[in-house]
Structure 1
């Protein structure tokens, strides 16, 4: 008997039993999915629960019905579009007037476009000497430029250089004040040394184009300056186009020493390179003669120098600058001296010191090339001195130390207070050299002992403007830096023996360089004692005087070249400009960072061209 279903023990009191005619299978999906045949079939899924039936055709549409465009303002355009067009037109008008205002208020553009107005500045009113002049345009705006009459002497005299630079400063300040009063708006004066247009300066070329200054007489005059510039010539060659910007350095000074002029020359070259200017040198009035008698020609430029009347001593923003030792410090201002302090002995800030040093180093690398004969001698001399400090049979691994000593006497006195009226004692140089040797070799030998062999192969290289220093006991055994040209003492000169019983033609008494280099002695080279006009001889020296001065300059340059190239360490006094030149020649890393440049003149550091 089959088992029966007992429902008496169920939890539910009531139970609904479906009629036998109800079909429990689901209806076919709207996607014609027939579904599984059984509950255990692999075709069973829940896709039918993910789809909904299509919307009823009786429901309203979700998007609004399209409306026909209505006619706007005037029957053809909307008011909003009219306002937009008006705003566009107003914007264009404002831009036009803004550009027009900038054009008319520019200090340069009106001069380039406006024809010359004789009622503003008359050419007949131009000064017949170099001087800055005021310019006023048709709108009453004031600017200024520098007028140098064509055909003026080139380079300018020292007095003209100084006067023009002083008047440039005064004129720039005056223009700034006048423009401030007229606009009733205070304007900051940036100074005539500024690179910006704040000084309202108009360059010569723009002033000529506007008619304020007369145009050059002919195109050939544009190359007149080439005749006096070092290494430049137009003979047999096609003239080069004029440089866009340039800086010309004039070698002229009332200082008999060569060191300060050389430091200014190197620094000016560095400034020219930083500003993208071509660089030229004028030696027409140099006390030492021709530049190429001492040095080789400077690097050639791809462009030519400008006309002479476009070379201006000020302001710094001028397209073509001409600089001399008279105006260099004033023109370059704090950039050269490193500060505006009245105390020339104030220690420079490290940032200013390195900036000045790097500028001078640029000039040294490009310009310090001795003439061919002296350069060959220096190279051979340096190789010979460096070979002396090599210990034999060590293959260069064990070398002595070459200590360069530069002693300056004459009219240059130390900065240190106790020696300002005299000179630095020679024994201080010798003791400093001895201390350097001991620090170097006392513990570098085997087992930390003294390296006596290397110390014995060390040497001192000596250069001085006083020939008596070479005979000093403290520096006995020192080697002369160079022996090609020497400043002799009077006792070293051989005087001819004459019969005192016979009358002879008078000869000037010979003099030597005892005591060092003095300006008065330099200016009197080649002058007989019968000629008492020192100033005339200074301005117009004879050929013999120029030759002797050139020899002095060559000896000085060879001394510095050998000391810088052959020495591992250099001892000198920073009060001498030659000592500062040696630091530049050694380079920042060797001289400053490694401490191979030793100053024994107090605690003053390297200071460029400052006194």
Structure 2
């Protein structure tokens, strides 16, 4: 029989008795069937937040408790906790750094004498050429030559402006303007780079385009802030005495100086520049100080007078495009028409390109309507000539209700060759122009019906009006019977000059004549070398050789910079050439129902502008015979 446990014995005096505060009943707080005790209860504690029962009131364990394993790194720091610590520390440093940069930018110490970073004296290079990186040096005072410079504003940020010392005169040379335009891009890029390095964020340089550069400071603001010295006297465009006008807030001054002997490109740029000035709310001025054709008023009437005073010369900048007072010329054409160039390069459809052409056409048309006003004598002659030609085409006994067609033909030769491949080394044959003119008359007047007899009469009253730079064109068989556009100023041929000088044509070689200089005429058309040497003596080898080579084939071209300053007689002769050219265009545009020309010549494009978009393009009255090209506007 197994032994039994006797509980009656009192030998076991040490019995573990649970304290009375331990309740062995099942607690609702442990089984989650009731909510925690009330917070107002005296027995309230945080035990209800832990879902583990209290220790068992039973007997103590006979074996010692096991030690917990040492998890994690460094005595219990887990990788997750370590990552949290790293993120917190990084956040504190980032907030501190951003705050430091912001307060430095907002409350930076003002710079009393801002250090200016300026380029070395420039080496004159063409605008289209490659210019080396600008070498920069720091100096306190602005340079003594016109150039863009980098400055530091009162907040320590890099900005840039254009410094033109007072007394430099206006306008500057074409080479100076061309070099400044190139350096404007380089200095602006350098200023953006310095701002990016100062802030520490490279992407801050994005968003600044050539059209709107927020780092540029205009001359007036730079003078007010002390970055540029304020001139003691205003220099630049001379204003009329006795006029008291407020200074222009914005302006555009077009400088007529150009290395191109032709007049067409200059006129197209002038008209388009006027349209852009009106579009941007700029006052428009024209400077003819060094124009190769002499005074502007010798050919045209003065331009419309703005209601404000022209700025000083040191305020008129060639760049950037956003400058308050801008100067435009053949040397800065890329700056003036930068938006057109970029839009044409990025054009992806014919409709978009056509819209750009039409916008440029509208700008040029606006300039034509405001500026193309010939001097009074030439203007009166053109009006009279146009009336005569319009009366010539009227069918007799119809009281002007029926008339023929006047076909204007513009023929440019000389040193300009066509765009069409087969004629690129020569010229478009004259029969192409004459046949195109006859085809236009047949297409417009070849109608059947009850008025057929009147159509025949209209054909009989139709005629061709010719304007050309080659005097031999008027005597060609293909254009026999054609009328000259104007007869007031004619470019003489060598044969006509000899006939007037000797009285015979050709001179009798069996008779001894007095020695005269060799005569050069305009046979072959307008050549640049011939133009630059007008009024010079043949005893000067440079001028004579250039003229002879130009007449021979036009292979050699002399520029204005290679010849001495033109004399008064030279400017008078050049002005005559310009006047003849302008009267030819005016008569063709006003008296012609249809104009036939080659688009490779800028004069042909000018005629389209003078006719208007509706008449020239939509009605098809402007006909190009030089390939399948349309209106091109400006060439770049």
TM-score of the superposition, structure 2-length normalised?
0.73
Aligned to 2:447: 443
Deviates more, 1:262-271 or 1:441-450: 441-450
Residue in 2 that maps onto 1:571: 596
How many angstroms apart in 1 are the aligned matches of 2:473 and 2:106? 68
Q: How does 1:167-178 map to 2 (within 5 A)?
A: 167-178=183-194
1:592 aligns with 2:592: no
Q: CA deviation at 1:225?
A: 2.6
2:387 & 2:145 partners in 1: Cα distance?
A: 54
| Alignment partner of 1:393 is 2:402 | no
1:257 pairs with 259, 262, 273, which one? 262
Give 3-state SS (helix, strand or coil) of 1:495's partner: helix
Where do 1:302-381 residues align within 5 Å? Answer: 302-335=307-340, 339-340=344-345, 349-381=353-385
Q: For the structure 1 residues 189 and 413, does the alpha-carbon distance in structure 2 shift closer, same or farther, using more than 3 Å as the test?
A: farther
How far apart are the structure 1 equivalents of 2:329 and 2:531?
A: 21
Select the residue among 145, 158, 171 that pairs with 1:129. 145
Question: What is the SS of the residue equivalent to 1:461?
Answer: strand
2:56 aligns to what? none
User: Is the CA contact 2:236–2:314 (under 8 Å) kept in the aligned structure 1?
Assistant: no
Shift of the alpha carbon at 1:412?
0.6
2:160 matches 1:144: yes
Classify the secondary structure of the residue corresponding to 2:595.
Answer: strand
2:73 aligns with: none
Shift of 1:340: 3.4
Write the deviation string for residues 504-556 of structure 1: whole angstroms up to 9, x where unpaired. Answer: 87532221100000000000100111123456773501111100000000000
Equivalence for 1:427 = 431
Is residue 2:236 matched to residue 1:225?
A: yes
Distance apart, 1:105 and its partner CA = 6.0
How far residue 126 of structure 1 moved from its aligned partner, in angstroms, is: 1.1
User: CA 1:610/1:292 → structure 2, altered by over 3 Å: closer, same or farther?
Assistant: same
The DSSP-based 3-state class of the residue aligned with 2:236 is helix
Superimposed CA distance per residue, residues 250-299 of structure 1 (whole angstroms, 9 cap, x where no aligned partner): 00111000000000000000000000000000000000000000000000
Match of 1:532 in 2: 541
SS of 1:578's partner is: helix
Once the two structures are superposed, residues 546-569 of structure 1 have per-residue CA deviations (whole angstroms, 9 ceiling, x without a partner) of: 000000000000000000000000
TM-score (norm 1): 0.76
Q: Pairwise mapping of residues 60-139 of structure 1 onto structure 2 (< 5 A)?
A: 117-118=112-113, 120-121=115-116, 124-139=140-155
- Residues 549, 134 of structure 1: alpha-carbon distance in 2 compared, 3 angstrom cutoff: same
Match of 1:413 in 2: 417
Structure 1 residues 449, 396: closer, same or farther in 2, change over 3 A? closer
Provide the residue aligned with 2:30 in structure 1.
none
Partner of 2:464: 460
CA deviation after TM superposition for structure 1 residue 501, in Å: 11
Contact 1:409–1:466 (CA under 8 A) maintained in structure 2: yes
SS of the equivalent of 1:187 reads helix
Distance 1:390 1:450, change over 3 A: closer
Q: SS at 1:431's partner residue?
A: helix
User: How many Å apart are 1:332 and its aligned residue?
Assistant: 2.0
Aligned-pair distance for 1:334? 4.0
Match status 1:156 vs 2:165: no
Structure 1 residue 183 corresponds to structure 2 residue 178: no
Aligned residue in 2 for 1:509: 518
1:210 is aligned, of 217, 225, 228, to 225
Q: How far does residue 154 in structure 1 lie from its aligned partner after superposition?
A: 1.5
CA gap of 1:500–1:589, structure 2 versus 1, over 3 A, is closer
CA distance in 2, matches of 1:217, 1:384: 58
1:604: how far off?
Answer: 1.1
